[in-house]
Structure 1
């Protein structure tokens, strides 16, 4: 590993008190190319705390010094779950033996308590024990002057035995191939733990963690699609079997003829050599260039959205609705065959369900028909193709060619919307939510001031840094009071997702007397003729999209950085967290530095 020649490695003991202080300063950084999710159960966290309280040794924490957005940070290579558990106990997220950490033991936590940002829970662990806990010395190894590639290599090597990571996690670790990016993005969207960029503060990771308890933060595992539908078990998702299934499904969307599914074929998909395997990385790369990775991702999520909505109509999980043979480990191959068959009907035969209610009825007891699913091991391409053709034969009578060219224009985007919306929990600067285009108390009056504010925010997002990309949703209220006001003035009920409230904009279009197409064209003209720089206005207008989420009509804008800072009304603006601030003369040099000349 030549890249490591110029690096330095230091190993020393650091107290929990010191590490928590660094945590409070947002020093710890998580690179989600390999550290993708927090999955420890509360019981596992409690066992770690108990080990520390009993002064038992715990494994080494491995960090790498890095520069992120011109700030010195510590990238966590190994120890994410342990650090989260230790800091969560200090912040009173869970007790050990029924008692909570005494927040007044540490100056940092006492300060947060005095500020009202932490609350002491009871009963309280005695202070002497808490003091000993914070003085516990953790072995910490810090990797200095490390390149991105060398950090990836270290992560792969320390986990290559499979003791800590599953085979799929090792395949994904540090991979920069397009297929790994697709697997990562789609899997996170389905679980609900997506982040806008690969880098997330350790402090923000709990907001998108997977938890086995229905807490006020994080993602309750029983609500994850795979688990809720009985396709995979809780343990399987924690072991990244969901990403393995996503990989298998993607390969069947990308490759023709269908390749076999199994360990050897998954490994070949990530191999760097140009082997003749039907799932070699070179062949997949070539097919993705032909099909377009974005189009493959859209196609995958469209198929999944249809299946999820159909199951919602059924009112029963996939496992009990489609098959009576129960399996505590789940039924991934049943779902695999159905998914690929539905995808081919939708995207290769250009069919749509005659009605989702009819499609739902067709799936009832589906796998009790004369259809054979093979057991474990490799699943041969020919056998798979035969089964999928049989599934299509059973389903085709319930589909029809679309007669409406606009039928799919405002298609469901449930998974993508929910996933993107949750990114706002960790990336406030690059997200903005607006409840609508019109005045709150008068939905027939377009709110010019609010719309201009949206455009100003878009310019500020584009000024965040080179290659930055923001997201603005219109039709989502970010607090309950706005949602309540919309209901009071219009009668529209909102749907809550985490702390957000989906209200939609259809009631505004009805009040304005405009169709979606008319309003879309009108908004495009307003953006292009606004106070934005013409080049940026043109680019921003091209990102405007209406979409459906259930019964709600929403809109999205995706402002992206240009090659240099952009202005609104002759002024420069930037985002500081959720706030939009004008750049004064003293800040112009720093703004220009964000966009180095190529």
Structure 2
């Protein structure tokens, strides 16, 4: 199949210096709808740098010209890991043979060094070697006038042999079926590398990369839930076996009776016409729409949170707690069966554990019982159902029927919140964090001026683009200084999450002498009577929601764009990174209006 005749493909050699210059200008874009994670180890990056220094050939980089946020960009189709390794070495993130790139070699790195954006590490590599490295010509193929579908097809064809990507990554690449979107979203949330939108600038990708070392940025692979609990190995997660496991579990959550698990059944769910039956794309799509993707996601996260909380009580990883005999490759099917069994108890029978301690005790040595789980290959639906029914029978005495659904609805799933908050690392323009509603030195005095500024920021978020929604959290400090101030004046101990600090707002409500419901109604009225454009104020107020994360009371607002830009106090504002700026001048106003066709 050939692409559109107007599509052009050019191949030329570009120096690493030229590529880095484009990188510093923010021209490279990563489409996470199909692009794999940043998963190269430091050792793999070092090997690539060594190949360049030895003047050995390395594979070409494939880019596609595109427009994002009204600016020309270069979407990375193939070569994400290589580009990241090259730019990371140039920016002194790792050495080669113990020596770092000399930042004085390039005008761009010297400028960043002089403006304290980069710091020179020592010892330094010989300046001549650095110059040779920067002048290395890398073959770059640029795909012009490419459509989204053609880029997806190119990506699949490049990796169809399976040498570059795992079967699940190829299956997931460019897939548009709803189950694929759900697998992508949940898997990223569990790993911690979720992003608010599909597009992420290449320079932001390291913040959510998976690394084999504890660095100042990225996600340490040993701390990822699947690895930390011994369910999957590090290499398995790097090969997206976690997404495969999430897919298998999701199919068992939405299909009744349970279908077989295996490669051909996964292919069928993604639309492979050669495989059909119970997991055909049509059946999966219908069932998923019947239950609702958000409801299925909620159920998955609720059960996973239950396991995380219980394992915290056990103070032991899942694998060592539930299975005496260790398996270095992990125990994915053990977890799969137990997860589905608990999900059926919770959501089909409306049960909850009597206590986390009792549930933890019930799981201790659980798989040492005479319960048969097959190894590799397909897992038949009937055999799987028999096992899950047996698991439920063993666990049911440790569960009880719940009657307090209202309090459960206030519980925001910890993983979902953590995943969402981490998105602020790559989407500063669409996030705003406030430690609370009141003054730092007086928890009983509502900070009206600060709240009005937040509402102004909400209007700016809504003016970003028609497809982007913002998120504003109250009860989260974005720096240690504010967290310490809350602790000093209110005696509230903050909990750190990445570079953020969870402070909560319960101490403020106590000082204000308001219940959650009273404060909720008060805030709704305050938003509706603010300086915001009235219809936008009403829509924003409708998104206000309190929730609990662990023992902290937090609040969320979700500014959503309308069909046209919105005003605050009669003026238009927009977000430029983490700042809210007034839109001034006729040209800027015209540009803003053009975002809303």
Tell me the TM-score normalized by structure 2.
0.98
Residue aligned with 1:165, SS: coil
After TM superposition, list the pairs within 5 Å mapping 1:154-233 onto structure 2: 154-233=154-233
CA distance in 1: counterparts of 2:510 and 2:409, whole angstroms: 19
CA distance in 1: counterparts of 2:262 and 2:275, whole angstroms: 17
CA distance in 2: counterparts of 1:274 and 1:506, whole angstroms: 56
Question: Shift of the alpha carbon at 1:566?
Answer: 1.1
CA distance in 2: counterparts of 1:272 and 1:511, whole angstroms: 59
Encode CA deviations 1:131-173: one digit per residue, 9 max, x unaligned: 1111111011111111110000000001000000000000110
The answer as to 2:478 corresponding to 1:495 is no
CA distance in 1: counterparts of 2:516 and 2:398, whole angstroms: 29
The corresponding residue for 2:513 is: 513
Structure 2 unpaired stretches of 5+: none
Q: Is the 8 A contact 1:273 1:282 kept in 2?
A: no
CA distance in 2: counterparts of 1:467 and 1:48, whole angstroms: 38
Encode CA deviations 1:74-124: one digit per residue, 9 max, x unaligned: 110000000000000000000011110111011100000000110110111
Residue aligned with 2:573, SS: strand
Q: Is the 8 A contact 2:265 2:276 kept in 1?
A: no
After TM superposition, list the pairs within 5 Å mapping 1:528-567 onto structure 2: 528-567=528-567
The corresponding residue for 1:595 is: 596
The corresponding residue for 2:442 is: 442
CA distance in 2: counterparts of 1:542 and 1:226, whole angstroms: 36
The corresponding residue for 1:368 is: 368
Q: Is the 8 A contact 1:572 1:583 kept in 2?
A: yes
The corresponding residue for 1:78 is: 78
Encode CA deviations 1:356-400: one digit per residue, 9 max, x unaligned: 121112111111122221111111111111111111111111111
Question: Shift of the alpha carbon at 1:516?
Answer: 1.9
The corresponding residue for 1:42 is: 42
Question: Shift of the alpha carbon at 1:588?
Answer: 1.4
After TM superposition, list the pairs within 5 Å mapping 1:65-104 onto structure 2: 65-104=65-104
Q: Is the 8 A contact 2:29 2:73 kept in 1?
A: yes
Encode CA deviations 1:197-227: one digit per residue, 9 max, x unaligned: 1000001000100000000000011110000
After TM superposition, list the pairs within 5 Å mapping 1:53-132 onto structure 2: 53-132=53-132
CA distance in 2: counterparts of 1:478 and 1:134, whole angstroms: 37
CA distance in 2: counterparts of 1:314 and 1:255, whole angstroms: 32
Encode CA deviations 1:557-583: one digit per residue, 9 max, x unaligned: 111110111122222211111111122
The corresponding residue for 1:477 is: 477
After TM superposition, list the pairs within 5 Å mapping 1:345-364 onto structure 2: 345-364=345-364
The corresponding residue for 2:235 is: 235
Q: Is the 8 A contact 1:474 1:554 kept in 2?
A: yes
C-alpha RMSD over aligned residues: 1.2
After TM superposition, list the pairs within 5 Å mapping 1:311-350 onto structure 2: 311-350=311-350
CA distance in 1: counterparts of 2:344 and 2:425, whole angstroms: 35
Question: Shift of the alpha carbon at 1:2?
Answer: 4.3
The corresponding residue for 2:259 is: 259
Q: Is the 8 A contact 1:430 1:461 kept in 2?
A: yes
The corresponding residue for 1:392 is: 392
The corresponding residue for 2:292 is: 292
Q: Is the 8 A contact 1:305 1:412 kept in 2?
A: no
Distance 1:438 1:430, change over 3 A: same
Q: Is the 8 A contact 2:268 2:274 kept in 1?
A: no
Q: Is the 8 A contact 2:430 2:471 kept in 1?
A: yes
Q: Is the 8 A contact 2:15 2:134 kept in 1?
A: yes
The corresponding residue for 2:526 is: 526
Residue aligned with 2:139, SS: strand
Count of paired positions: 596
CA distance in 2: counterparts of 1:262 and 1:412, whole angstroms: 33
Q: Is the 8 A contact 1:274 1:281 kept in 2?
A: no
CA distance in 2: counterparts of 1:316 and 1:66, whole angstroms: 48
Tell me the TM-score normalized by structure 1.
0.98
